[in-house]
């Protein structure tokens, strides 16, 4: 049997332009469920119509085209902020911005094309819809791991901020995606208008039940933390475009020092500065730590983002400085951003002008040894995360022991001021629910926030604001099912469901 390239990708294989445009528009509407818009009531029906559009196409090539273009619309609308890092230094990197968006949108859309291929396991529109729903969930799982992973803007993220999000404590983010895609596909299983209406009502009732269960979980009394932990989070509004211009580094450093020196109503156990807050390498910062920092902190330990080096290797790190200015625990970021903090095949990429954006030295950072928990004494046991690491639930599950709370330092100034920082905050909220642990995050430009173990933002500083606040670290909940099992149950369930769909088709063909 010979593969015919023209049959697969030629003009006859493509759906009409109006159907492709409809798929792209529906995909973009699904993205309306992502932060900062959070329009799940728009996203869910849009996903249902897109599922019907894909499932209604009997020809495999056309179905894959519809999935691909629908995915491109989704990822272009959800991840348009990806151009922002290229606009920090427009003269040097600005030309890459449109290519980055196109490559991101159409590259990530290949996962939706794969889901449309999985839909082909069904013989009719109803079973193809089921296959597409399972394929979307499976590819959301896959893109969290493949090529170091990029589990951003998962379909299930449309529920962040709603009571449905509480289900992530049991089924995790991929489980949320599966619930969403199956709910969207359910009406397509009906063969008549009345049947489809009934199935749509069943999907709404199922989601309403999840909403009610989540509301009940949110209403349950929260335990008290004993002993209490008091933390100050500082946001200097260190805009990335100005951070390294002239003496602006000193302006932003002074803001951090002034905020840290402000009197506290209650004794503090820790002060937190954002990612790369200190503009010196760690090994050269001793005089600053023992002088200005120790004076400002008045005996309170400070956790700060800083870069450090070992010979020719550089690390993006979090260092804890004790009340006397001495360096204590140090954590090195280990899940780095490809092309942002390191460049794969660096020497070859450098010939095309591609170097790491975030790193100040060489072609990028060296990855740290892995997840760890820091014992900060009165501040408790902390699981540190640096920026991008908070989008990977499996990284939190990789910690060697359970922490008392999660500390994220980040520089969301790279993400612009429209959608990226809010999507990053949303994922931190989801991590809190999945683990049953509070998350405190300090960001250079925002959003700095204290999040409880149910994902609720208790205190925050607005994006683009300069300031600080003191927060009592919320209490932890008992370890969740997802914290104990991770993505394994979802992987098994999706694999078995797709296998069953394939076996059903094989039986029908004999």
What is the Cα–Cα distance from 235 to 469, expressed in whole angstroms?
A: 9
* Cα separations in angstroms, 442 against 9, 34, 151, 339, 482: 48, 22, 22, 24, 25
Entry field: residues in the chain = 510
What is the Cα–Cα distance from 201 to 204, expressed in whole angstroms?
A: 5
What is the Cα–Cα distance from 464 to 448, expressed in whole angstroms?
A: 10
Q: For 492-507, give one letter per residue: b (16+ CB within 10 A) or e.
A: ebbeebbeebeeeeee
* Cα separations in angstroms, 72 against 24, 103, 281: 7, 10, 41
What is the Cα–Cα distance from 436 to 438, expressed in whole angstroms?
A: 7
* Cα separations in angstroms, 401 against 249, 370, 385: 37, 13, 15
Catalytic residue among 84, 387, 434, 454: 387
DSSP letter string, 272-298: E--TT-SSSBGGG-HHHIIIIIHHHHT
Active site residue 401: no
Active site residue 290: no
Which tokens belong to 375?
Answer: 């014992």
What is the Cα–Cα distance from 399 to 414, expressed in whole angstroms?
A: 27
Q: By the 8 A CB rule, do 320 and 374 touch?
A: yes
Q: By the 8 A CB rule, do 244 and 269 touch?
A: no
Catalytic residue among 57, 84, 243, 333: 333
Active site residue 333: yes
What is the Cα–Cα distance from 113 to 105, expressed in whole angstroms?
A: 12
What is the Cα–Cα distance from 421 to 387, expressed in whole angstroms?
A: 11
What is the Cα–Cα distance from 340 to 44, expressed in whole angstroms?
A: 33
Which tokens belong to 89?
Answer: 């230094």
Helices 168-185, 193-219: inter-axial angle, 10-degree rounding: 160
Residues with Cβ within 8 Å of 141's Cβ and at least 6 positions away in sequence, in order, are: 174, 177, 487, 490, 491, 494
Which tokens belong to 357?
Answer: 């954006």
Catalytic residue among 57, 275, 389, 434: 275
**Triad 143, 147, 148: Cα angle to 5°:** 85
Q: By the 8 A CB rule, do 432 and 407 touch?
A: no
Q: Which residues are catalytic?
A: 275, 333, 387
């Amino acid at each position: 049997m010979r593969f015919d390239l023209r049959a697969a990708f030629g003009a006859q294989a493509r759906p009409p332009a109006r159907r492709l445009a409809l798929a792209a528009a529906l995909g973009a509407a699904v993205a309306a469920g992502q932060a900062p818009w959070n329009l799940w009531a728009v996203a869910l029906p849009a996903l249902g119509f897109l599922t019907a559009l894909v499932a209604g196409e009997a020809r495999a090539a056309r179905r894959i085209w519809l999935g691909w273009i629908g995915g491109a619309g989704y990822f272009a609308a959800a991840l348009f902020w990806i151009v922002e890092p290229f606009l920090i230094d427009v003269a040097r990197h600005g030309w890459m911005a449109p290519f980055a968006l196109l490559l991101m949108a159409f590259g990530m859309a290949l996962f939706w094309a794969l889901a449309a291929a999985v839909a082909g396991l069904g013989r009719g529109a109803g079973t193809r819809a089921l296959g597409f729903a399972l394929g979307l969930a499976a590819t959301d799982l896959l893109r969290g791991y493949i090529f170091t992973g990029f589990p951003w803007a998962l379909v299930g993220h449309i529920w962040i901020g709603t009571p449905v999000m509480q289900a992530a404590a049991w089924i995790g983010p991929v489980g949320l995606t599966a619930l969403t895609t199956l709910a969207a596909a359910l009406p397509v299983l009906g063969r008549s208008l009345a049947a489809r209406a009934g199935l749509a009502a069943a999907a709404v009732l199922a989601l309403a039940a999840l909403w009610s269960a989540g509301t009940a979980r949110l209403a349950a009394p929260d335990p008290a933390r004993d002993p209490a932990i008091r933390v100050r989070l500082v946001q200097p509004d260190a805009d990335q475009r100005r951070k390294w211009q002239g003496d602006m580094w000193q302006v932003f450093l002074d803001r951090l020092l002034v905020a840290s020196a402000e009197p506290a109503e209650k004794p503090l156990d820790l002060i937190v500065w954002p990612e790369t807050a200190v503009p010196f390498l760690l090994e050269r910062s001793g005089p600053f730590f023992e002088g200005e920092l120790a004076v400002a902190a008045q005996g309170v330990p400070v956790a700060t983002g800083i870069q450090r080096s070992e010979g020719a290797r550089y690390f993006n790190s979090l260092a804890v400085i004790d009340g006397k200015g001495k360096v204590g625990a140090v954590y090195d970021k280990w899940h780095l951003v490809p092309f942002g903090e390191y460049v794969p095949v660096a020497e070859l990429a450098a010939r095309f002008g591609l170097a790491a954006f975030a790193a100040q030295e060489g072609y990028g950072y060296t990855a740290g040894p892995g997840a760890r928990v820091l014992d900060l004494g009165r501040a408790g046991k902390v699981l540190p995360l640096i920026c991008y690491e908070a989008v990977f639930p499996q990284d939190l599950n990789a910690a060697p022991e359970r922490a008392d709370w999660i500390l994220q330092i980040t520089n969301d100034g790279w993400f612009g001021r429209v959608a990226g920082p809010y999507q990053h905050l949303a994922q931190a909220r989801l991590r809190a629910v999945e683990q049953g642990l509070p998350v405190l995050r300090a960001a250079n430009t925002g959003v700095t926030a204290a999040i409880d173990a149910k994902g609720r933002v208790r205190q925050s500083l607005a994006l683009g604001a300069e300031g600080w606040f003191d927060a009592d670290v919320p209490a932890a909940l008992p370890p969740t099912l997802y914290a104990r099992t991770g993505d394994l149950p979802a992987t098994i369930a999706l694999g078995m469901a797709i296998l069953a769909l394939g076996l059903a088709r094989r039986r029908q063909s004999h």
